[in-house]
Chains A and B, each alone.
Chain A
């Protein structure tokens, strides 16, 4: 396959960015999207140019590090698939593919396609946990959890923290990310104790970080590579209201 990539280049956080075009020939349809970038970078290094910086690590769709907006969609065209699990066979010979970083005020670009997502960690550190010290735990089977609750909590806990929800949202809201954690822990007996204050604290931090408001467009759910349901947002709103009403 012959492919043209139009990719966002930006030297650093403070410099302006621009799109640059690169063409690649002999792209194998079995290559992953990131392997296509490996080939491009190999060529750039050999020519003495700066390779395109992008985040990635596990390349199996679980660490949440990869993050490219491909032809306008976070993680590209396939539903429920991360950038690293996308393959070139999803594209056609002769295609021009536009690749950009996540765009959100709370995710400043560090270089090319790499953005700063530490805001997510700061939100987590305000309440995304159960306050239990190592060694405090009782026997695991003394805490029964109905299977449907456990399954639903797992569904929320499957979030990989990639930030595609923010990138997909026209308001750059982090609602789905926050809700997934609040909802997971609210569904479990061990997380119920702090459910209200957790929702309050995490939402406050989300606002402080400069993420936008949720206006229920559900773009987040549509682009989430782990297909996390917006129902978790409803559950979080209930916890949040409970907290506000005392």
Chain B
């Protein structure tokens, strides 16, 4: 049984009492303590800036050309906070409750409660930095609703909330870079951690421009390196998003928790062909005004406009009358897949459903016409006015859709299909956000702790910033207060040399294969295995065969890969290859985890475990635990952290 180091006492006092009791590090000692932060997204940038403000010496690494490019920037919808500015009954407890329930009762209570507690401070901090959140005419902050909740607690900046929050954290980071408190290493990729006497003491990073390997010491190392959705090849992640940092840590002893929990987002632009390199999300907020449907007839070739109302199947409204189009992401995604698999899909590939705004455009248009006192407005007038209302709310998303598909969503319904979006699993961490490796922390999407088996919308930004701004500045003192007598360790130490040699040999092995196939060739094949057998629905047989297929694909990769050039230069093909090599190992663990979890929960849907109506069927008796996997040679050992729900009554989720 794992010890998550959760403070004693009632839930609502845990964090407060932790903060007043945890050991502190005095300012002069902070100046001698060095912290390595890997990743500069919301979690990394906010942590690096906040720790530097406290006086620690910080080095921060990112693989992009600037810290401002991390993929947090692409988050669209918003960030949740229990401010209760709308006076609609929100509270810390409700945010906590919604998050635990949304995660299908597979997250840790104490962490989630702390997340809800600090959520309000995040909004304050961001506003103070100059983040231009949406506002009402009175000058107050505006809110909107998001999936899985009944209150309006989502703060937003048009459809670019992630961008604005990241630029806020980036500006705080650059301020510390300007004072010399943070040393920034852009275009650097971490390729290993360095262990000395059982503690993590630094990293090996590759300068991506020169190819030179560098050694960096830290009293502590923070991995803020995001999720691993790109194991599926096609996802809404950025092209460079990868698992490498977390995986290297895993290979050196850090446990990987719940790897099979993947979030498949229901509203993405469908795949258009083999050339496709990535998928694009259409924000969850669109489901407020769009109705999702497919034809009632199989293989219906008519244009959507030619299909009369009574021949359309609004399947979410049919199956879930209480929540309709606003069911949580996992439920909406599975329902779309079910329809398409049964032969009712639309578009050339038949792997899409309609997201149709006509109904609401008409409704808005009629309201507008009434407002303007128009008597007997024509159908066209109504639609024109309705389109204008929709354009104001979602204009940028509609433009993006048109740009990608060449179709005008004001005229024809959007075609959408689920796509890989977020990974709830990640490195196992305790209440301090420390992995089981002393001195090694994981923050943001890179850890597993807060979202259980399904993340609610607008909660990823909240967690990344909570970890970086308000959790790690306190919890790291708990460890570093014991390190004040440890002088900086020279990177001339043998452990650094060994780790560096190990990395160099690994890269040479990749460039030395001299086969015939490109990296993308293997990545696509891995993605297909994962999507078909460890995607939206999984079963024992498929997972079993996926493991074998991944193993032989990995063998083929190491025999037949071709990388031009060497490691001693800017070499994007080599960068990709090193990441795909790690995905080829991670994919196997994901299938392994999915196979062992004989239940369905959240994003993990095992076909053998469903209710008569096809809903996810949990098995709380046997599986109310976190599965933390430790690598043991070519196998994995399971470490269980039992989940206790002392403050919430655990129940079957129902959205009917």
Query: A: which residues have CB within 8 A of B?
Result: 12, 28-32, 34-35, 38-39, 41-42, 44-46, 48-51, 53, 55-65, 81, 85, 87, 89, 110-111, 114, 116-118, 120-121, 124-126, 128-141, 143-147, 150-151, 153-154, 157-158, 160-161, 184-185, 188, 190-191
Q: Which residues of B contact A130 (CB under 8 A)?
A: 128-130, 171
Q: Which residues of B contact A144 (CB under 8 A)?
A: 138-140
Contact B141 A140 (CB under 8 A): yes
Taking the complex as formed, is B473 at the interface, i.e. its CB lies under 8 A from any CB of chain A?
A: yes
Contact A51 B130 (CB under 8 A): no
Taking the complex as formed, is B611 at the interface, i.e. its CB lies under 8 A from any CB of chain A?
A: no
Complex Cα–Cα for A172 and B515 (A): 44
Contact A125 B278 (CB under 8 A): no
Contact B406 A150 (CB under 8 A): no
Contact A146 B139 (CB under 8 A): yes
| CB contact between B175 and one of A12, A114, A125, A160 (< 8 Å): that residue | A125
Between A and B, 30 residue pairs with Cβ closer than 8 Å are A30-B273, A35-B276, A41-B573, A45-B518, A45-B564, A48-B562, A48-B564, A51-B564, A57-B240, A58-B71, A59-B278, A63-B71, A64-B68, A65-B65, A87-B404, A110-B570, A120-B66, A121-B67, A125-B174, A125-B178, A129-B174, A132-B125, A132-B129, A134-B46, A134-B53, A134-B473, A140-B83, A154-B134, A157-B132, A184-B130
Contact A134 B172 (CB under 8 A): yes
Contact B400 A58 (CB under 8 A): no
| CB contact between B129 and one of A48, A129, A154 (< 8 Å): that residue | A129
**In whole Å, how far is B543's beta carbon from the nearest beta carbon of chain A?**
30
Interface SS, A side? loop
Most chain B beta-carbon neighbours within 10 Å: one of A42, A51, A60: A60
Q: Which residues of B contact A160 (CB under 8 A)?
A: 163
Most chain B beta-carbon neighbours within 10 Å: one of A48, A58, A144, A184: A58
**In whole Å, how far is A185's beta carbon from the nearest beta carbon of chain B?**
5
Known: A45-B564, A59-B238, A114-B570. A137 touches B139 (CB 8 A): no
Complex Cα–Cα for A235 and B407 (A): 39
Contact B275 A31 (CB under 8 A): yes
Give 9 A-B pairs besides A59-B277, A121-B177, A140-B126 with Cβ atoms closer than 8 angstroms: A46-B562, A51-B564, A62-B160, A85-B404, A87-B403, A134-B46, A134-B473, A135-B470, A161-B68
**In whole Å, how far is A133's beta carbon from the nearest beta carbon of chain B?**
5
Q: Which residues of B contact A136 (CB under 8 A)?
A: 128
Name the interface residues of B490-519: CB closer than 8 Å to any CB of A.
516, 518
Taking the complex as formed, is B341 at the interface, i.e. its CB lies under 8 A from any CB of chain A?
A: no
Known: A35-B277, A87-B404. A58 touches B74 (CB 8 A): yes
| CB contact between B128 and one of A12, A28, A34, A190 (< 8 Å): that residue | A190
Contact A58 B562 (CB under 8 A): no
Contact B128 A158 (CB under 8 A): no
Contact A51 B68 (CB under 8 A): no
Taking the complex as formed, is B272 at the interface, i.e. its CB lies under 8 A from any CB of chain A?
A: yes
B interface, size bucket: 35 or more
Contact B572 A53 (CB under 8 A): yes
Contact A191 B130 (CB under 8 A): yes
| CB contact between A137 and one of B64, B68, B128, B278 (< 8 Å): that residue | B128
| CB contact between B65 and one of A116, A139, A191 (< 8 Å): that residue | A116
Contact B171 A58 (CB under 8 A): no
Complex Cα–Cα for A35 and B64 (A): 19
List 5 tightest A-B contacts by C-beta distance, closest first: A144-B139, A125-B178, A137-B128, A129-B171, A137-B124
**In whole Å, how far is B474's beta carbon from the nearest beta carbon of chain A?**
10
Q: Which residues of B contact A138 (CB under 8 A)?
A: 124, 128
| CB contact between A50 and one of B70, B175, B564 (< 8 Å): that residue | B564
Name the interface residues of B57-74: CB closer than 8 Å to any CB of A.
64-71, 73-74
Taking the complex as formed, is B158 at the interface, i.e. its CB lies under 8 A from any CB of chain A?
A: yes
Most chain B beta-carbon neighbours within 10 Å: one of A121, A126, A131: A121
**In whole Å, how far is A16's beta carbon from the nearest beta carbon of chain B?**
17
Taking the complex as formed, is B367 at the interface, i.e. its CB lies under 8 A from any CB of chain A?
A: no
Most chain A beta-carbon neighbours within 10 Å: one of B70, B134, B135, B473: B135
Complex Cα–Cα for A29 and B520 (A): 21
